[in-house]
Chains A and B, each alone.
Chain A
Amino acid sequence: MTNHKLTKKVLRFIIDNSVTLLFAALCIVGIFASQEQPYMLVSLLLERMTRNTFLVLALLIPVVAGMGLNFSITIGAMAAQVAIITVAYLQIHSGVGTIWAFVISTPLALILGKIIGKLLNKTSGQEMIASMITGFFADGIYQLIFLFFAGTIIPMTGDFVLSTGVGLRNTINLMKDDGIGKAIDKAIQVPFFTCLIIFGLFVVFYYLGVMLVRRIKLSAEKEHLMKLLAMIFSAIDVILIVLAVAIVLFKKSIIVKGKFDGMDSILIGIYLFTTLGALLIGYLINKNNKQSPVKNILIIVVGIVLVVYSYQVMYSSNISHDMQMLKTVNLSLLTAIIVVLFAVFNVIILKTKLGQVFKTVGQDKHIAEVSGIKVNKIRELAIMLSTLFAAWGQIIFIQNLGTLNTYGSHKSIALYAVAALLIGGASVSKATIGQAFLGVLLFHTLFIVSPKAGLHLFGDAQIGEFFRQFVSYGVIGVSLGLYAWKTMIIHKKE
């Protein structure tokens, strides 16, 4: 590769990812300016990532289906809050209550999603602004229900209701009386850096494996054998997961202290080994995603650094006090697993036939119509799914907060989710899971550090708070503006 070509490539990369890079730079400046304790930073960020990512992922399907960023996920959040209020009011406790919240919110979100979908179909071309206004409108209805119908038309009494007997209180404490507060988060708590060691090792071994097997060619007979092996590995995986779930259910909550006893390590070892095996065989058989060896080596190096650093944090006594604190950072493993599984689900669904239909509709409505796809129905389905996922995401979000702000918890959901996704490098017509994760990471880093950075840089924490609000609105404005500009240019060229 010539030097010139490389410069061009780097420039291209910078231009294509300008928003993300800008925010990465802002985050780094912010972290230094805020002088935040590493412990606080890591634990706050981890908490925010586990509780917010699901909501951001709820935005993906409408983007693929060509409906842009679905600002009406607020309505999904409202459906979740209706469910949470119901569960809390009926005093259904912790785990069971959480499951009921999911169950109750599901049909509600689907029905609301259907209505929104129908509405947005009528405003074709202006879906995003319409979805935003729909959110505001629904907020009015929501307030009407809980401020005036609760206690009058809907028979509700007791603690929840204001002293006048009409309308719900502003905040509902979900931690009290074994409520659903932190029910998912508390289920399994694991030291974060132990997880990182395991994760890092997994990544390193996977990519080493990939580098080893990428040259192997299989005969048909051997391929058959490999498939069988993969199935056995997967079966062991499933059994182990069921076992783990059973343990969680019986023990109610597991708090791992960072040291595993013999049995645990063996089980985890087996799990990792079988998963790795299954994944590698999958790679070997498909072999369609050929990655460059440079990239592989890079990932392996990053993985090793991660493992070494995490190991230092967890087991070395020769480190500074700040670093020692990091030992106590806990990951809510169950929440994290739910989020990761949901991300995987998104990948899978986009690879199925339905996913292809979404993509076709997103690329060109007319072509989709001609090829026999019921475009409006598919668009409605996309919004229904998005609303449903937003509802589930909101349950995860609220159980983490532990209190429900009856009239406020849903308000800025869409704003923050959309801003995070755009910061990750997504656009109106293209968004990936990776962008969602990266976006949440950057956006919430900025969110955590900006008040303190404002305090240290300008002597006022408020400036930082307003700054992060400005950033949320600004990034949406800029991204949407840039997108509209690009489409206009393409339109003109045609």
Chain B
Amino acid sequence: MRIAVKYCGGCNPSYRREEIEEVLRKYFQVSYADSADLIVCISGCKKGCAAERARGEFLHFDEKIKEEEIVRKVKEKLLLK
């Protein structure tokens, strides 16, 4: 399953956003392409800029979250497809 990552601009993130991508790369095939089986939007804060222009099926992270939670949410979303 291919996952595409879309970041917000990163002006004042409340956590290290790259941690989400690093976890994703451990379990899935990740790119920055415009299309994939799932778009994962990574915002640095609750403002959620990464998800503002997202369309269709996507998953949005906007705070620090445990590795197993990230994997669980992605798998859950992929299974729904």
A and B: real partners? no
Residues of chain A at the chain B interface (Cβ within 8 Å):
none
Residues of chain B at the chain A interface (Cβ within 8 Å):
none
